[in-house]
Amino acid sequence: MFDKLQQLEAQYEALTAQLASPEVMGDSTLYQKTARAHAELQPTVDEFRRFRTLQQEAADARQMLHDADPELRKLAGEELQRLDPETVESEQRLRELLLPKDPNDAKNVVLEIRAGTGGDEATLFAAEMFRMYCRFAEQQKWRVEVLSTSESGVHGLKEVVAIVEGRGAYSQLKHESGVHRVQRVPATEQQGRVHTSAVTVAVLPEAEEVDVKIDPKDIRIDTFCSSGPGGQSVNTTYSAVRITHLPTGLVVSCQDEKSQIKNRAKAERVLRSRLLELEQEKQHQAIAAERKQQVGSGDRSEKIRTYNFPQNRVTDHRAGVSLHQLADVMDGKLQPLLQAVAAHFQAERLKKETAA
C-alpha cells in the first residue's frame, strides 16, 4: 500500500510542477486536464503526509517514554493516547482512498420514481419523494429536468422520470436505488389507521454519446398527442415521442415538451442510460437488469428504507441507521443519511478488498 502511496505522491508533485510551467499555463485545455488530475490526487496525498507526520510524532513520543524525567514520560504517554488512534484512523482513511473509483461518480443521474404497493397512498408518497430529491438537488445547486410524468387521480405520481444534472450527482445518489417504504395515516384514510405503502427508486448514471451509440436502424419512433396539463397543444399536436429499442425491447416515452424534437432528444438521453445499464450488467454477468435488482417488485418486504411518520423516524436498513428528523429528510436534508449509507458501502468494499 505504501509503495503505491509514494508513487501517487511523486505523480502529484510532478503535476504541481506542470501546473506552473509556461507550456501548460498557455494551453487552457491541457491546464484544465492537469488541474483536474492534480485535484483528484490531492486528498490522498494530503492524508498520506498527515499519516507520516503522525507516525513520526508517535515514534518521538515512544522514545520519550524512556527518558529519565518522569514528567516527560507522563507527557509522552498522554501524547501516545492521542496519536495512536489518530494514526489508525488515518491508515483506514488511506485504504479507503485507494479503493478503485466508480467511473460513473461524476456523471448526471437519470432518476426514476414509481409507486409500488399501496394504491393512491403510494402515488402520493411518490410525489413527496420526488419533491424530496428536488429539494436536495436545489441545496446542491444541481438542475432537475423532468422527462416524463404520470399522475394519479389524487394528484400523486404513478411514475416520474427526470434528469439530475450536477457534478457528482451519481456519487451522492447512487445508493438511493431500491424500495422505500412509508408508514403513516394517509390523507385518503377515513378511520385514522396507519397504512404501509412502497415506492421504488432507480438511479442510473446518464450515458453520454461516447458511452453508448444508438444505431438508427435499431429504433422505432412513434409520435402521439401528449396528455395532461399543457395548454392548446394537448391532444391536438403530435409532440409526444415514444422510442422502442428493437434489439432489447426497451421503451422510453417523453411528452414533457411541446416540441417533438426536444421530446425526442430527452427520450434518447434516457434510452442511452438504460442501454448503458444493460451493458454494464452483461459485463458483470448479472442475471437481470440492474433496475430490477435495485427496486425488485415494489413489494413492501423488499424495503431498503422506512419512513415512519407516527414516530418521526426514518431508518435505512442497509446501514442500520435511524434518524428522528423525518420532516427535515422529507425537506431534502439528506446528507446525514447519504453519508451513513456511503460509509456502510465503503466499509463493505474495504472488507472485500482486504479479504482478496
Q: What angle do CA 248, 253, 257 make, to 5 degrees?
A: 150
Query: Which amino acid would we find at residue 310?
Result: P
Cell output for 262: 426536444
pLDDT level of residue 301 (50, 70, 90 thresholds): low
pLDDT at res. 231: 45
Poorest-pLDDT segment among 86-90, 145-149, 197-201, 331-335 = 145-149
CATH architecture observed for domain 109-209+290-355: 2-Layer Sandwich (3.30)
Task: Judge whether residue 172 has pLDDT over 70.
Answer: yes
User: Among candidates 283, 270, 108, which has minimal Cα distance to 205?
Assistant: 108
Nearest to 247, CA basis, from 211, 214, 208, 206 = 214
Domain ranges of the chain: 2-97, 109-209+290-355, 216-283
- Whether 2-97 shares its CATH topology with 109-209+290-355 is answered no
Q: What is the mean pLDDT of residues 78-98?
A: 90
28-42, 273-287, 341-355: lowest mean pLDDT where?
Answer: 273-287
Q: What is the CATH number assigned to the segment(s) 216-283?
A: 3.30.160.20
Residue pLDDT, tens place only, 12-63: 999 999 999 999 999 988 998 899 889 889 999 999 999 999 999 999 999 9
Which residues, other chains included, contact 342 with Cβ-Cβ below 8 Å and sequence gap of 6+? Answer: 172, 175
Domain formed by 2-97, architecture: Up-down Bundle (1.20)
pLDDT higher than 70, residue 230: no
210-217 contacts at long range (C-beta below 8 A, 24 or more positions apart): 211/272, 211/276, 212/272, 212/275, 212/276, 212/279, 214/245, 214/268, 214/271, 214/272, 214/275
Is the per-residue pLDDT at 285 higher than 50?
Answer: no
Report the pLDDT value the prediction gives residue 286, as an integer from 0 to 100: 41
Helix axis angle for 70-97 and 28-64, nearest 10°, is 150
Cβ atoms of residues 92 and 164 within 8 Å: no
DSSP readout, 27-82? -HHHHHHHHHHHHHHHHHHHHHHHHHHHHHHHHHHHHHTT-S-HHHHHHHHHHHHH
For the stretch 248-268, pLDDT in tens is 999 988 887 778 888 888 888
Provide the residue count of the chain.
Answer: 356
Instruction: Mean pLDDT check: name the lowest of 151-165, 232-246, 312-326.
Output: 232-246
Spatial separation of the C-alpha atoms in residues 181 and 195, rounded to whole Å: 10
Amino acid letter for position 80: L
Residue environment code for 45-64, b if the CB has 16+ CB neighbours within 10 A, otherwise e: bebbeebeebeebbeebeeb
180 beta partners: 199, 305
Beta bridge partners of 224: 240
The residue behind cell 472488507 is 351
CA distance 114 to 246: 24
Cβ 205 vs Cβ 184: under 8 Å: no
pLDDT score of 354 more than 80: no
Over residues 181-196, mean pLDDT = 85
Mean of per-residue pLDDT scores for the chain: 86
Which whole-number Å values give the CA distances from 106 to 1, 11, 94, 149, 164, in the listed order? Answer: 26, 22, 21, 26, 12
